[in-house]
Amino acid sequence: MNAPIARPALAIGCAGWSLPREHWPRFPTQGSQLQRYATQLSAVEINSSFYRPHRPQTYLRWGQSVTPGFAFSVKLAKQITHVQRLQACDGLLDEFLGQCLQLGAAMGCLLVQLPPSLSYDEATARGFFEALRQRYAGPVALEPRHASWLHAQALLVELQIAQVAADPSPIAGGDQPRGWSGLQYWRWHGSPRIYHSAYSHSRLQALADEVRRARAAQIPTWCIFDNTASGHAVEDALTLQQLLQA
């Protein structure tokens, strides 16, 4: 079931490719919103896959509509993470991967976000991630939201699962990369007002410094802005990109 996996050295983008009207002048006027978005940013996170399935043909169309080198991160379905809580979901994994791997070479990363109520149980976690690894060899980023997952470090390293560096994070130390060190996935939700607040120039400069260190160490790095509710994600992603180009 594995497909070729894009492993960009640096992927910068937003949770979704909706373009706020005030940013339209910075993007081409022709093409779909995804095609226009992909001319200026190198990656996008698909969050809608968490809420509902998409047909394989839809993923195929998305993957074929972007230029080579553009990468998608796909958020795992809540039926697996929140309803089944990582248990007895082999069939659901087969179904989900059968859909999203139609992205082909544009499939860049799988995002696994857990509910705050889901504590770490080594047997459950191992069973799930081993089942996932039997089906999918590409990059995986885990965003746990229960402090007990700080004890999962050894398992995540063993199975090459990176732990998301989230802002804000309900876990002490969850704002820094953990887990497998072969991938960094920065996921910034907006702070102090989650999903809404824009990031200051100083915060973005600090993130740029972190990214430079990761690039110097040749660690593939994702920076995804999830502060989309008030339209700031696109501006923050473009600003980070400019800081790294300077």
The structural domains of the chain, ordered by start, are: 10-245 (3.20.20.410)
Per-residue pLDDT at 7: 64
Per-residue pLDDT at 1: 42
Interatomic CA distance for residues 14 and 180, integer angstroms: 23
Residue 231 burial (C-beta neighbours within 10 Å; 0-12, 13-18, 19+):
middle
Longest dimension (CA), the chain: 51
Q: What is the pLDDT along the chain (246 residues), one digit of tens a residue?
A: 444 455 679 999 999 999 999 989 999 999 999 999 999 999 999 999 999 999 999 999 999 999 999 999 999 999 999 999 999 999 999 999 999 999 999 999 999 999 999 999 999 999 999 999 999 999 999 999 999 999 999 999 999 999 999 999 999 999 999 999 999 999 999 999 999 999 999 999 999 999 999 999 999 999 999 999 999 999 999 999 999 998
Per-residue pLDDT at 5: 54
> Tokens 């998305």 belong to which residue?
62
Residue 1 contacts residue 107 (beta carbons within 8 Å): no
